[in-house]
Amino acid sequence: MNTTLKEGKKLIEEILSGTDRIPQDVTLIIAPPFTHLCPAARLIGNRRNPALAAQNSANRESGAYTGEVSASMLASIPCSHVILGHSERREYYGETNEILLDKIRLALASRLRPIFCVGEVLAEREGSMHFQVVASQLREVLCQLGPEDFKKVIVAYEPVWAIGTGKTATAEQAQEMHAFIRAFLAGTFGDLAASTPILYGGSCKPSNAREIFSQPDVDGGLIGGASLKAEDFLAIAGSFA
Ligand code: PGA
């Protein structure tokens, strides 16, 4: 929940003017607030990069749900991706795995690619519960999908204790959890899990992105605070070079 429309458009324009510095094979996705999505789509025009994501979508298809935005509305912008299950949505807005499964199914039915977030809070990590917590988030949501739907999912691992706190998981902690996520998903989806993009999120910045992204099971990043500065966001995306 950052930037007015004017500020948001300026940020997107700055990002667009730097996309030629990003390696060709890097997919950039921007996820502005709902109010900025249509203007963002116009600014992006028919460029290949960046793709456009929403930060949330409804767990109902359509109808009398005042204030909600449905997956089909987003698809009609057009928007290609939607972030679902961000820890802030789980914590402040009571989004459970059950609600998220409905949201994911509706997103997929509208041909949106879900970016599904998982991650543990500090007490869970300190109590060595982190694998168990992430496993249940995967089991109760992604593992309920059929293989064709699962192929379209992007996973984002976000240790909640690292989001917006300046604390980053070490590259080893990120790799360890990403490898766990991939192996867990392979238990249900077999070889398909090898090509599931698994992003790391949590205080990613230009100074630490290269090391985190160099880990074998880290396929990209979900960038919060640093995405509010075009220079930093582009530098992070350029860390894949
Ligand atoms: P951060 O946010 O980069 O500001 O830690 C990450 C996120 O919101 O997923």
Give the domains, in start order, of the chain with CATH numbers: 53-238 (3.20.20.70)
Q: Answer whether residue 44 shows pLDDT above 90.
A: yes
Mean pLDDT of the chain: 96
Rounded (10°) CA dihedral 154, 100, 212, 19: 60
CA dist 121 and 207 (Å) reads 24
Range of weakest confidence among 19-23, 124-128, 170-174: 19-23
Residue 223 CA: nearest ligand 1 atom is 3
- CB 181, CB 175: distance < 8 Å: no
Q: Which of 88, 95, 120, 158 is catalytic?
A: 158
pLDDT of residue 125: 94
Q: Give the amino acid at 108.
A: L
pLDDT of residue 240: 81
pLDDT of residue 230: 98
Q: Answer whether residue 165 shows pLDDT above 90.
A: no
Which pLDDT tens digit goes with each residue over 174-222? 999 999 999 999 999 999 999 999 999 999 999 999 999 999 999 999 9
- Of the two residues 75 and 167, the one the predictor is more confident about is 75
CA of 64 to the centre of ligand 1 (A): 32
Residue 158 CA: nearest ligand 1 atom is 9
Residues flanking ligand 1, CB < 6 Å: 158, 163-164, 201-204, 222-226
Q: Answer whether residue 167 shows pLDDT above 90.
A: no
- What is the DSSP secondary-structure string of 34-94? HHHHHHHHHHHTT-SS-EEEES---SSSSSS-TT---HHHHHTTT--EEEE--HHHHHHS-
In a 3-state reduction of DSSP, which class is residue 181?
helix
178 is annotated as an active-site residue: no
CA angle 173, 85, 54 (to 5 degrees): 115
Q: Give the amino acid at 166.
A: G
Contact partners, residue 63, CB within 8 Å, separation at least 6: none
Question: String of b and e for 162-189 (b: at least 16 CB within 10 Å)?
Answer: bbeeeebbebebbbbbbebbbebbeebb
CA dist 84 and 103 (Å) reads 7
